[in-house]
Structure 1
């Protein structure tokens, strides 16, 4: 029996809306972790939490996050190239556990986040977050985790370098901004285009992008949804170095991580803690409001219009309600 195309399209729109509605409840839950407590000195953390050992995870068909150890450096690789490394709840949870183990492994002094395949990450895997809508928090109930977006009561106290290439969009760009040092391959395409779909950048860009690039530069891209290049990112200050190829970008990140690992680890951690003291107090309030802002925005008709337009493959028509 053939399906009425009108009914099929309506069902597709409803399904897409239900999937997209899971996003705010899921990502905004990172703000439920709290943002009123900055990173603590490693000595204090170790007094309360026993050290751990970060285990390697080689590439495999079901491995969404690879983990490699190179002496005192850990490499974390987003490994969903078939979906442009979009982050689903399992990948987000794996990152949270890996960051915790890295931070509490005394044999590791620096870490690198990169992406396998043609892109670093195009952001959230909307379909993958459907099931998480029931709990509203991909990290709910988990212990021994560090929020990959780097806010809340448990944060990294050790440095993270990110090496990006290809499409680095939305949540992918927010993971990029959450790192301490950033390297990109020439040809990297950055994006924070949620506003073109009736959403908003709620994983930290409204705080960090503004801080790193300045108000006008950040708003230029977030408010329009326009994408930008590695050269643009370097010009506005969110990117520290540009390498010729993705392989060269990762190699350069490894080199920088090695230089950090050769420094005194307590001095490196104290440098991070001291620097965070200068900025975290003012940012805590902004991070703590992300959940409420998500909830309000995603109940609007404009949000449904954005989702519907995506499902129908047409430009959205927003009305401001």
Structure 2
């Protein structure tokens, strides 16, 4: 583990903090490897029931560390990091069976914004801003933004953000669909995100995993296949202790407690 990624656990919620505040949490290869490996470990960890992503200091994450990238440009394949690091990270986040909440305090730019878009929920405040900085340095998008950004804001707005580098900030980000929750004070962004994650961690996390899987697949398959996928998911959820216990508790008018199994 590197000091540039902090891991905090509290009652089923794991908070991952990009910890390079002096560099606005820019992503080095070491940080990307640590983040990728931690995500993979949490995906298989039954004690982790929800994840919060955040950044230390005044930014969420500004994407690739360009100082390191300048050095990589001297090598034969400077953008190998896309396949080696960003693609595996994006794939792992997209397939994460646990709910993921991004606490976006400050700037989220480039791949940093792309990481936030891969979360299931995004919480931000007045100082939150999203900037797709790729074209500004002569690059196209990565880390899944070509798919996730149009889902959130539509094709036209995504094109504007990607080609013109338009910054979308604060309440405008919520209106555009980039933030699900807007808080009036930037200091409340992380506590609000962690409170949301704690609520999710107490829920039927097996069902959440199937909801995420079905939503993702349904965008690319016909209705007939979606119906079959839903039926399969319901059959599996119906066999869980969470479902059986919840139905019994409901009928008995008792509190419902989910155990994630």
TM-score by length of 1: 0.62
Structure 1 residues without counterparts, runs of 5 or longer: 1-56, 283-321
Match of 1:186 among 126, 134, 137: 126
Cα distance 1:68–1:146, how it changes in 2: closer, same or farther (>3 A)? farther
Deviation of the 1:201 alpha carbon: 1.6
Task: Identify the residue that residue 149 of structure 1 maps to in structure 2.
Answer: 90
Cα distance 1:271–1:146, how it changes in 2: closer, same or farther (>3 A)? farther
Match of 1:113 among 53, 57, 60: 53
**2:102–2:119 contact (8 Å) kept in structure 1:** yes
Distance 2:97 2:221 in 1: 16
Determine helix, strand or coil for the equivalent of 1:203: coil
Determine helix, strand or coil for the equivalent of 1:97: helix
Report runs of 4+ in structure 1 exceeding 3 Å deviation. 129-135, 137-140
Deviation of the 1:281 alpha carbon: 6.3
**1:193–1:227 contact (8 Å) kept in structure 2:** no
Alignment partner of 1:95 is 2:41: no
Deviation of the 1:245 alpha carbon: 3.0
Alignment partner of 1:241 is 2:202: no
Determine helix, strand or coil for the equivalent of 2:127: coil
Structure 2 residues without counterparts, runs of 5 or longer: 223-261
Q: Which has the higher contact order (CA 8 A, sep 6+)?
A: 1
Q: Which moved more, 1:82-91 or 1:270-279?
A: 270-279
How many positions carry a matched residue from both structures? 218
**2:107–2:127 contact (8 Å) kept in structure 1:** no
Alignment partner of 1:259 is 2:230: no
**TM-align CA RMSD:** 2.6
Distance 1:93 1:138 in 2: 12
